[in-house]
């Protein structure tokens, strides 16, 4: 995803940034629309209730899409700087509005976020969850903790190994041995 | 006074098990309070799946005692490092840190500790007294009244727990809609399950809660500037003899200002009862009033003990007071209380008007646990303050993977389901994006928790009224509630617009960086290193960065106070 411009104000943002600016109401709109689309088979009041809620969300989401977009553009124009888009390292430069002591209007919208780290951590987490159904809980958990440490900038190998090993072994002893939580077992056990 | 119920609560609490969990909870609360980046509500959410296996009273006691411990714990790094461990403690730093710089860090902690104890105890006693009459009043509510009460709670929580009414309401209604997934309440029709077996009982709110609170918080931390950087330089506390001497001085100073303690506790109680206000706003109000009524207001912000008292007594008073709406109406007074509410539901108890009838002993045990936890702050605080200050230097890079791992383990442990683990991360990512855009996530979770109840009351009301909506306007009590709801909406819309205009004017007048605060000397500012300050809390609002006692608080009402 790219931004159409890094200058403030007057240039219309690219489609990626526009979608990002309205991502929350857009998500709500998709959920509500989806529920409305499949709610036909539910009969009686128990179908009416979610349909009414979905209708309310659609109205609110449409209003919010417009308001969020206008507000973001106005903040940009006022000098807050262009808004970040996920996938870019640090997004756009940190918006001055959110420097220390500054007012917060509408949340940071991702400005100043180290997106590569966030996306890498999320990817490592989802990968670990995917592997859990194949390798049990604790081997992917080792990947999660170790990978998480590396993603977040810990480069000293013994620190990574000690912390990961200590945490995972400690968790195994606590959850499996002491509390008896039936975590998915490793394939050989 | 409900002596029988209180006595039953005491019987439940004063057993080896609950007392041990109470001790553990307060200690954990200290750790959480001291540790920037991990909030009370996050920790409570993380512990929730593991507490299910405990006896009912132990489970509830553990969750609420974390709250009390954290309320004081956050003051320690605020005073010593100028890094508030929780947002409520940001006010404590205004005078606590200047005291620490003068070499009076231990003394400031002593004052904070005693003020916390008194605030918690005073508020706890008042809560014990008012719970029964308020609960009795709420008992008169039927299905239609409860439906409106839930709506009222949503509007209040959606708005006060965020900076924008529209965003809060959208998040809340989305939560209500997601709560309709699964079997319907009356005829058990499958709704929106897409043949996924794990959804037949609905979207489980525990993974959603852990994701929205803990995972989103960790993603925010991961995206912060330098996660490997430890917290600031710690001011030493001296040896144990010095600490005891400081503790004693702190006790004496606090007791020498009974009016300041009572005033702060009263403000905390009054504002704490209002759902969503939380400690950060209450502490600022308390501090502002103390400053205004002082004969030497110019001393505030320069290391005035009364400033520390105003913040800390209020902080702990709020903690107990938030139990009132949570228990009597089922509307959580703060983010941690949303977790407490979830803990009740997981144990099969629905907080609300009837809870004092069905589970009065457990309810009073919870209130008493908060009271005893407040008392425990004194000895435990003396023992643990020095070692815990070291924890505040833990880099985010180590905290984040550990918390994510425990979150996933907790999500799995509740139903032994990998689906729940994935759901946790999905909710975490959604909540993270919401928080970046200033959308509060607490209403979303409230919607999931209270949604089934709201639907049930609505459908029951419709049945009682023969499908006539007029039934919902057919009694004096319900009309009063509708009026309150309408008045609240109008007030929030008007005040929201006024605030937006004011902020915009200020921004336009002073430039984007808010120079009135940036021009403060660096040592007067509360450091934001490794804290939630500057990052949107679960309430969807950026944590406050107070630079001056006169600075207006940003709304960060969660008990960290900022889920």
The tens digit of pLDDT for each residue in B16-30 reads 888 999 998 888 888
The pLDDT, as a whole number, for residue B248 is 83
Measure the CA angle with vertex B236, ends B233 and B241; round to 5°: 165
Contact of B536 with chain A, judged by CB distance below 8 Å, is answered with yes
pLDDT at B376 over 80: yes
Question: CA nearest B501 in A: which residue?
Answer: A105
Q: Are A3 and A92 in contact (CB under 8 A)?
A: yes
pLDDT at B545 over 90: no
CA distance A101 to B511: 12
Handedness of CA B517, B523, B528, B531 (dihedral sign): negative
pLDDT at B206 over 60: yes
Candidate from A3-7, B42-46, B328-332 with smallest mean pLDDT: A3-7
The model's pTM? 0.73
Residue A4 C-alpha, separation from nearest chain B C-alpha, in angstroms? 20
CA distance B216 to B445: 13
Q: Residue B22 belongs to what H/E stretch?
A: helix B16-34
Structure tokens at A51: 């349909």
Identify the residue with better confidence: A26 or B67: A26
Average pLDDT, chain B: 78
Q: Which residues of A touch B435 (CB under 8 A)?
A: 107
pLDDT at B150 over 50: yes
Q: Which residues of B touch A108 (CB under 8 A)?
A: 436, 535-536, 542
Residue A12 C-alpha, separation from nearest chain B C-alpha, in angstroms? 20
Residue B125 C-alpha, separation from nearest chain A C-alpha, in angstroms? 36
Least CB–CB distance from A126: residue in B401, B425, B455 = B425
The pLDDT, as a whole number, for residue B87 is 63
Q: Residue B190 belongs to what H/E stretch?
A: strand B190-191
The pLDDT, as a whole number, for residue A89 is 41
CA distance B495 to A139: 53
Distances (CA, A) of A140 to A125, A173, B417: 9, 17, 16
Q: Which residues of A touch B228 (CB under 8 A)?
A: 152-154
Candidate from A98-112, B118-132, B378-392 with smallest mean pLDDT: A98-112
> A168 CB contacts (<8 Å, ≥6 apart)?
A138, A141, A142, A145, B405
Contact of B319 with chain A, judged by CB distance below 8 Å, is answered with no
Question: Which whole number is the average pLDDT over B156-162?
Answer: 60
Q: Do B189 and A171 touch (CB under 8 A)?
A: no
Contact of A145 with chain B, judged by CB distance below 8 Å, is answered with yes
Question: Which whole number is the average pLDDT over B445-455?
Answer: 85
Contact of B164 with chain A, judged by CB distance below 8 Å, is answered with yes
B202: left (phi over 0), alpha (psi -120 to 50) or beta: left
Contact of A129 with chain B, judged by CB distance below 8 Å, is answered with yes
Q: Is B1 exposed, middle or buried (0-12, 13-18, 19+ CB in 10 A)?
A: exposed
Contact of A100 with chain B, judged by CB distance below 8 Å, is answered with yes
Q: Which residues of B touch A61 (CB under 8 A)?
A: 170
SS3 A187: coil
Q: What percent of chain B lies above the pLDDT cut of 70?
A: 80
Candidate from A117-121, B159-163, B428-432 with smallest mean pLDDT: B159-163
The pLDDT, as a whole number, for residue B221 is 86
CA distance B87 to A165: 33
Handedness of CA B427, B430, B435, B439 (dihedral sign): negative
Structure tokens at A169: 């072994």
CA distance B123 to B138: 21
The pLDDT, as a whole number, for residue B33 is 74
Q: Are B179 and A52 in contact (CB under 8 A)?
A: no
Which ipTM was obtained for this model?
Answer: 0.82
Handedness of CA B237, B241, B244, B245 (dihedral sign): negative
The pLDDT, as a whole number, for residue B344 is 85
The pLDDT, as a whole number, for residue A91 is 40
Q: Which residues of A touch B219 (CB under 8 A)?
A: 118, 121-122
Residue B517 C-alpha, separation from nearest chain A C-alpha, in angstroms? 5
Q: Which residues of B touch A45 (CB under 8 A)?
A: 186, 459, 462
Question: Whose structure tokens read 């990512």?
Answer: B429
pLDDT at A5 over 80: no
Q: Which residues of A touch B500 (CB under 8 A)?
A: 105
Distances (CA, A) of B244 to B75, B239, B240, B376: 18, 9, 6, 16
The pLDDT, as a whole number, for residue A165 is 93
Residue B238 C-alpha, separation from nearest chain A C-alpha, in angstroms? 30
Residue B493 C-alpha, separation from nearest chain A C-alpha, in angstroms? 14
The pLDDT, as a whole number, for residue B174 is 94
A83: left (phi over 0), alpha (psi -120 to 50) or beta: beta
Contact of A118 with chain B, judged by CB distance below 8 Å, is answered with yes
> A6 CB contacts (<8 Å, ≥6 apart)?
A82, A92
Contact of B46 with chain A, judged by CB distance below 8 Å, is answered with no
Query: What are the pLDDT digits (tens) for B458-488?
Result: 888 888 888 888 888 888 888 988 998 888 7
Contact of A36 with chain B, judged by CB distance below 8 Å, is answered with no
Least CB–CB distance from B177: residue in A53, A68, A153 = A53
A186: left (phi over 0), alpha (psi -120 to 50) or beta: beta
Q: Do B180 and A53 touch (CB under 8 A)?
A: yes
CA distance B138 to B143: 12
Task: Kindly give the residue spans of alpha helices, DSSP state H, lying in chain A.
Answer: 15-21, 23-38, 45-75, 115-135, 138-151, 157-171
Residues of B429-453 as b/e, b for ≥16 C-beta within 10 angstroms? bbbbbbbbbbbbbbbbbbbbbbbbb
Candidate from A20-24, B7-11, B338-342 with smallest mean pLDDT: B338-342
Candidate from A112-121, B113-122, B190-199, B506-515 with smallest mean pLDDT: B506-515
């Amino acid at each position: 995803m790219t931004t159409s411009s890094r200058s403030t104000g007057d240039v219309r943002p690219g489609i990626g940034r526009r979608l990002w600016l309205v991502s929350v109401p857009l998500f709500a709109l998709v959920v509500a629309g989806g529920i409305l689309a499949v709610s036909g088979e539910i009969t009686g009041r128990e179908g009416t209730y979610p349909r009414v809620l979905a209708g309310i969300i659609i109205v609110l989401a449409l209003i919010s899409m417009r308001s969020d977009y206008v507000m973001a553009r106005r903040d940009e124009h006022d000098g807050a700087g262009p808004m970040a888009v996920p996938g870019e390292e640090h997004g756009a430069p940190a918006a001055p509005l959110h420097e220390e002591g500054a007012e917060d209007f509408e949340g940071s919208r991702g400005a100043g976020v180290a997106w590569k780290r966030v996306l890498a951590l999320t990817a490592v987490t989802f990968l670990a969850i995917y592997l859990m159904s194949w390798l049990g809980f604790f081997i992917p958990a080792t990947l999660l903790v170790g990978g998480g440490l590396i993603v977040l900038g810990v480069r000293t190998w013994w620190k990574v190994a000690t912390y990961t090993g200590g945490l995972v072994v400690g968790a195994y002893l606590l959850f499996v041995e002491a509390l008896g939580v039936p975590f998915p077992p490793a394939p050989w056990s | 006074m409900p002596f029988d119920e209180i006595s039953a609560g005491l019987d439940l609490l004063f057993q080896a098990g609950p007392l041990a969990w109470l001790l553990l909870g307060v200690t954990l609360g200290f750790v959480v309070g001291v540790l920037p980046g991990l909030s009370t509500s996050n920790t409570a959410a993380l512990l929730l799946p593991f507490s299910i296996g405990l006896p009912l009273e132990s489970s509830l006691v553990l969750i609420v005692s974390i709250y009390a411990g954290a309320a004081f714990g956050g003051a320690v790094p605020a005073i010593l490092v100028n890094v508030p461990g929780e947002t409520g403690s940001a006010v404590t730093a205004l005078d606590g840190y200047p005291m620490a710089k003068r070499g009076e860090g231990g003394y400031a902690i002593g004052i904070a500790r005693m003020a916390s104890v008194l605030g918690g105890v005073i508020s706890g006693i008042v809560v014990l007294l008012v719970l029964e009459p308020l609960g009795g009043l709420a008992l008169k509510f039927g299905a239609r009244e409860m439906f409106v009460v839930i709506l009222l709670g949503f509007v209040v929580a959606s708005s006060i727990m965020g900076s924008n009414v529209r965003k809060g309401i959208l998040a809340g209604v989305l939560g209500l809609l997601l709560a309709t997934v699964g079997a319907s309440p009356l005829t058990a029709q499958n709704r929106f399950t897409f043949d996924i077996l794990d959804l037949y009982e609905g979207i489980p709110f525990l993974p959603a809660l852990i994701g929205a609170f803990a995972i989103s918080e960790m993603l925010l931390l991961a995206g912060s500037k330098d996660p490997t950087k430890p917290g600031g330089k710690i001011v030493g506390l001296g040896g144990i003899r010095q600490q005891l001497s400081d503790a004693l001085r702190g006790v004496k100073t606090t007791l020498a200002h009974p009016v300041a303690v009572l005033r702060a506790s009263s403000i905390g109680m009054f504002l704490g009862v209002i759902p969503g206000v939380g400690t950060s706003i209450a502490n600022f109000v308390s501090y502002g009033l103390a400053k205004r009524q002082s004969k030497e207001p110019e001393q505030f912000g320069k290391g005035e003990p009364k400033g520390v008292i105003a913040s800390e007594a209020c902080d702990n008073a709020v903690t107990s007071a938030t139990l009132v709406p949570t228990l009597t109406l089922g509307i959580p007074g703060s983010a941690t209380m949303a977790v407490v509410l979830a803990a009740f539901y997981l144990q099969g108890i629905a907080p609300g008007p009837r809870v004092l009838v069905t589970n009065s002993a457990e309810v009073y045990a919870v209130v008493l646990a908060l009271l005893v936890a407040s008392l425990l702050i004194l000895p435990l605080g003396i023992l643990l303050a020095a070692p815990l200050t070291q924890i505040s230097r833990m880099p985010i890079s180590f905290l984040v993977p550990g918390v994510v791992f425990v979150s996933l383990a907790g999500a799995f442990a509740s139903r032994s389901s990998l689906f729940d683990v994935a759901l946790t991360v999905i909710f975490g990512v959604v909540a993270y994006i919401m928080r970046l855009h200033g959308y509060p996530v607490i209403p979303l979770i409230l919607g999931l928790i209270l949604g089934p109840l709201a639907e049930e009351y609505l459908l029951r009301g419709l049945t009682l009224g023969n499908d006539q909506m007029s039934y919902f306007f057919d009694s004096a009590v319900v009309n009063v509630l509708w009026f309150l709801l309408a008045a609240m909406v109008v007030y929030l819309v008007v005040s929201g617009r006024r605030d937006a205009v004011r902020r915009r004017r200020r921004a336009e007048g002073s430039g984007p960086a808010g120079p009135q605060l940036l021009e403060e000397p660096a040592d007067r500012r509360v450091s934001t290193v490794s804290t939630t300050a500057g990052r949107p809390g679960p309430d969807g609002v950026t944590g406050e960065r107070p630079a001056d006692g006169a600075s207006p608080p940003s709304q960060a009402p969660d008990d960290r106070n900022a889920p």
